[in-house]
Amino acid sequence: MFKIILFLIFVFLCNSLYALDIPTTIKSTIENNPKIKIGLEKINEAKELINKASGELLPDISSSITGTLESSNTKTTSSTTEDDTFADKYKLTITKNLYDAGIDKLEIERSKILFQNEIINFNILLENLIIDAITGYLTVLNYESSLTANQKNFEFLNKLLEETKTKYDLGSATIYDLQKAESSFSMSEANLFAAQQNLEIAKKSFKLIVSKEAINLDNLIEINDNINLNNIEENALKNNLSFSLIKNDIKNKNILLLKEKKSKKPYLDLTGTAEYSDSDRIDSGTETMKGNLAITLTIPIFQQGIDNSNIRKYFSQILQSEIELDDKTDELLLSISNTYKDFLINKSLMKANAYSMKAYKTSLESLNQEYLLGTKSITDLLEDEENLLNYTVNFSNSNKDYLISYFKILSLEGSLLDNFSEYLPKLE
């Protein structure tokens, strides 16, 4: 029994010491989020496009079996004749295209592009989930920090209110001092409640994405903030996933256009047939075996103008995609600039808020002493305490926004998945 108790204590301590970090958060998200499972099935589905297109190069083989039962009844003035016959026929047909101007091979190439598109879409899904998971992680940390600051503020103001009530009863504090202390305490109480509710909602959102409880999160997050805007833009134009999707769409439309042009060319088919038949299975009949080999040359002459219409349609779609690519380039660069700007601004805000926090902590220590000596009023004390709370919360907010901006930059650059490659599913 004693050993069991020790074991339970050991397990409890291990669990309490365990910290959930961002890599573990990403790993859990990828392993458990249902959107990942759906995305993987879509990739498996897209693989069949390649198998189907490759199968078009193989011959078509079909067979048929036909059985015919025929009954006849012939009457004459002198006799009646009944005749029943059962004939059967077995047929095997093999058809192989000898020349199609390369349309089937183009379809294989196109199916590979569609498969790549599905992988790109899956990676975009991964990026979005990783950003959501990181945002949820940092939001919980932010609200935990805010709750801690509001809890300290609440305890301080509660103590100060009690002291002010005592001083008011003794006549050493004014009614204004009491009202000011009560007002600040009431606001602190409301802020504390809001902080508690925000944290609860953030934890629920985190669990929905990550499938883990947001308990004991590691607040030590290391990043490489030595990033250069020009390098980010250069990498993004090569590696951004949405960008790659549009480029693939242009390739796909070009193949469809080429297929439509080739549909005007002749194609050649070879058909081989083997046939066995027995004219009567009931009585002695005639058995027949025959085979033939046919070559068919088909030359398209007029297809109701559909092919020309499709050619014009694909030209238009390619032009649309090229315009979209140019537009996407401008949007991407603008988005990178804005996110990079937010990254730098929040980095500066973190420093400014940290200095302000330090200054107001020092000021409060001094004010507390002067307040006890009676040289400073409660108003002075409450103003500095409120300022300390605001700068503490602002520091936490700017720290969260700073880190989120960093990971969004990696996503825009197309390098976010590289940072968590060991946790990603292996795609063939």
DSSP 202-260: HHHHHHHHHSS---SB-----------HHHHHHHHHHH-HHHHHHHHHHHHHHHHHHHH
Cβ atoms of 138 and 404 closer than 8 Å? yes
Cβ atoms of 414 and 401 closer than 8 Å? no
Handedness of CA 57, 58, 59, 64 (dihedral sign): negative
pLDDT of residue 267: 79
Q: Which two tokens stand for residue 323?
A: 């315009």
Phi, psi for residue 293 in degrees, rounded to 5: -130, 125
Q: How confident is the model at residue 200 (pLDDT cuts 50, 70, 90)?
A: very high
Range of lowest pLDDT (84-98, 132-146, 248-262): 84-98
pLDDT at position 39 over 70: yes
Range of lowest pLDDT (25-34, 206-215, 256-265, 364-373): 364-373
Q: What is the mean pLDDT of residues 272-292?
A: 74
Q: How confident is the model at residue 64 (pLDDT cuts 50, 70, 90)?
A: confident
100 vs 27, higher pLDDT: 27
* Segment 327-336, tens digit of pLDDT: 999 999 999 9
* Segment 139-194, tens digit of pLDDT: 999 999 999 999 999 998 898 899 889 988 888 888 998 998 899 999 999 999 99
68 vs 123, higher pLDDT: 123
Residue 245: count of CB within 10 angstroms of its CB: 16
- Average pLDDT across the chain, whole number: 84
Q: What is the mean pLDDT of residues 395-400?
A: 92
pLDDT at position 15 over 50: no
Identify the three-state secondary structure at position 279: coil
Range of lowest pLDDT (65-69, 233-237, 257-261): 65-69
pLDDT of residue 56: 80
pLDDT at position 304 over 80: no
pLDDT of residue 79: 63
283 vs 214, higher pLDDT: 214
High-pLDDT (> 90) share of the chain, %: 41
283 vs 153, higher pLDDT: 153
pLDDT of residue 280: 63
> Would you call 410 exposed, middle or buried from its count of C-beta atoms within 10 A (0-12, 13-18, 19+)?
buried
For the chain, the C-alpha Rg in angstroms (whole number) is 39
Q: Which two tokens stand for residue 286?
A: 């005639």
CA distances from 294 to 39, 57, 64, 98 (A): 46, 19, 19, 12
Cβ atoms of 279 and 288 closer than 8 Å? yes
pLDDT of residue 428: 61
Q: What is the mean pLDDT of residues 367-396?
A: 82
pLDDT at position 81 over 70: no
Cβ atoms of 263 and 301 closer than 8 Å? no
pLDDT at position 4 over 60: no
Please state, in angstroms and rounded to a whole number, the distance separating the CA atoms of residues 139 and 398: 11
pLDDT of residue 21: 87
pLDDT at position 11 over 70: no
Please state, in angstroms and rounded to a whole number, the distance separating the CA atoms of residues 299 and 296: 10
End-to-end Cα, the chain, rounded Å? 52
Q: How confident is the model at residue 229 (pLDDT cuts 50, 70, 90)?
A: very high
190 vs 379, higher pLDDT: 190
pLDDT of residue 190: 95
pLDDT at position 8 over 50: no
pLDDT of residue 1: 40
pLDDT of residue 226: 84
Please state, in angstroms and rounded to a whole number, the distance separating the CA atoms of residues 246 and 315: 15
Q: Which two tokens stand for residue 92?
A: 């095997």
Residue 48: count of CB within 10 angstroms of its CB: 11
Cβ atoms of 168 and 176 closer than 8 Å? no
Q: What is the mean pLDDT of residues 241-267?
A: 89
CA nearest 287: which of 296, 295, 277? 277
Q: What is the mean pLDDT of residues 245-260?
A: 91
